[in-house]
Amino acid sequence: MMPTAHRRLVFFLLVILSTASIIMAAAAGSVSLGWEQWTNALLHPDSEFGELVWRLRIPRAAAAWTVGALLSLSGCLMQVLLRNPLADPYILGVSGGASFATLLGMTIGVTTSLLPALAWAGSLISILIVFSLARGEGPWSRTRLLLTGVVTASGWAALISLLLTLGSDSSLRGMLFWLIGDLSYARLPSWALATLVFIFLICLGLARSLNVLAMGETTARLLGEPTRKLLWLVYLLASILTATAVSIAGNIGFVGLIVPHLMRLIVGSDHRVLLPAAALFGGFFLVISDTLARTVLAPRQLPVGVVTALIGVPLFLLLLNRARVKQ
């Protein structure tokens, strides 16, 4: 367990990082602003640069932060649920359903504003398919859930490939960006933020139960957890988090896998500390990644999923290596 003072310092730093990343995102972009222009823009939302900062950059950064936090929380939950440190938010096919529905919408030419709703519907269908097939009678079986989820995900992947081969060349680019994960058109709907806050609070209440659950179902039951109910609840919460994130920004990879790991290395595995730390760092990480995605090759914009992978993979390997040396 971390000493309280140490824990406070970590949280203080994480809050600073998140805030700083959003400020940086508001300042950086293909139109570079001087310090004076920038403060002016912040103070006068109606000016030309004010519109740019308040209407485009800050909403996009807020969306990025929320998606990062959603995916990181979902990753933490999935790893406990499957008791496997390799689990990520997409492993059980939630994003597959969302992707298929969205790409289908793009193929038949649904207006862009309806795509998040379609993604949500696709996720929900996938969640319900996996839930009803894996539930069965008798005790909870992690293997059954994992296999059902993974096979469902493969099914969606096949359907997505089919749509990609049938799609017109003009729509392919949009589809590809969505599949890699892209925040170009992302805005932060208030319901997504509400979902994040609401589920985060539930998870914080369950945090000690999650600690016990991470030690295995039998141990958890012996310590008083009704594991069957608890595990399905964790499955549903993680799936809703994933569905919300995917409906905003597509399949952004690596955040939900790497952030929980990084935070476990830094703050330890007590979920009462891990969950808020992962949410804060996940938000920070995605805001930075997205800022890079739109500035590195400006005015060209990269899908943020490319950047998360390019930063995430070496960072993760480095930290993992350092942690092993320390041990």
Partner 1 sequence: MIELACKHLDVRIGGIDVAADLSLELTPGEFWGLLGPNGIGKTTLLKCLAGLSPPASGQVFLESRDINELPRKLVARHIGMLQQHTVYVFDSSVMQTVLTGRHPHLAYWEREGPNDLQKAHDALKAVELNGFAGRSVTGLSGGEARRLAFAALLVQDPEIMLLDEPTNHLDLRHQVQIMGMIRDRIGRGGLTAIAALHDINLAARYCSHILMLLGNGDWIAGRREAMLNETNLEKLYGCPVEMIQGRNGTHFHPAAG
- Name which of 212 and 248 has its Cβ closer to partner 1: 212
136 binds partner 1 (CB under 8 A): no
# residues near partner 1 by CB under 8 A: 30
Torsion of CA 263, 268, 270, 273, to 10 degrees: -50
Closest separation between CB of residue 92 and partner 1, Å?
A: 18
50 binds partner 1 (CB under 8 A): no
- Name which of 32 and 219 has its Cβ closer to partner 1: 219
Closest separation between CB of residue 154 and partner 1, Å?
A: 25
Own/partner long-range contacts of 317-323 (Cβ < 8 Å, ≥24 apart):
319/261, 319/262, 319/265, 320/261, 320/265, 323/265
182 binds partner 1 (CB under 8 A): no
258 binds partner 1 (CB under 8 A): no
Stretch that binds partner 1, among 33-41, 103-111, 218-226, 286-294 (CB under 8 A): 218-226
214 binds partner 1 (CB under 8 A): yes
223 binds partner 1 (CB under 8 A): yes
Stretch that binds partner 1, among 11-19, 38-46, 129-137, 198-206 (CB under 8 A): 198-206
- Name which of 190 and 327 has its Cβ closer to partner 1: 327
- Name which of 69 and 82 has its Cβ closer to partner 1: 82
Closest separation between CB of residue 269 and partner 1, Å?
A: 5
Contacts of partner 1 in 74-93 (CB under 8 A):
79, 83-85
Closest separation between CB of residue 224 and partner 1, Å?
A: 3
Work out the number of other CB atoms within 10 angstroms of the CB of residue 266: 16
Stretch that binds partner 1, among 107-115, 149-157, 205-213, 251-259 (CB under 8 A): 205-213
209 binds partner 1 (CB under 8 A): yes
326 burial (CB, 10 Å; 0-12 / 13-18 / 19+) is: exposed
Stretch that binds partner 1, among 88-96, 109-117, 160-168, 263-271 (CB under 8 A): 263-271
112 binds partner 1 (CB under 8 A): no
| Contact between residue 169 and residue 161 where contact means Cβ atoms under 8 Å apart | no
- Name which of 159 and 265 has its Cβ closer to partner 1: 265
208 binds partner 1 (CB under 8 A): yes
Contacts to partner 1 by CB under 8 A: 1, 79, 83-85, 204-206, 208-209, 211-212, 214-216, 218-219, 221-227, 264, 268-270, 272, 327
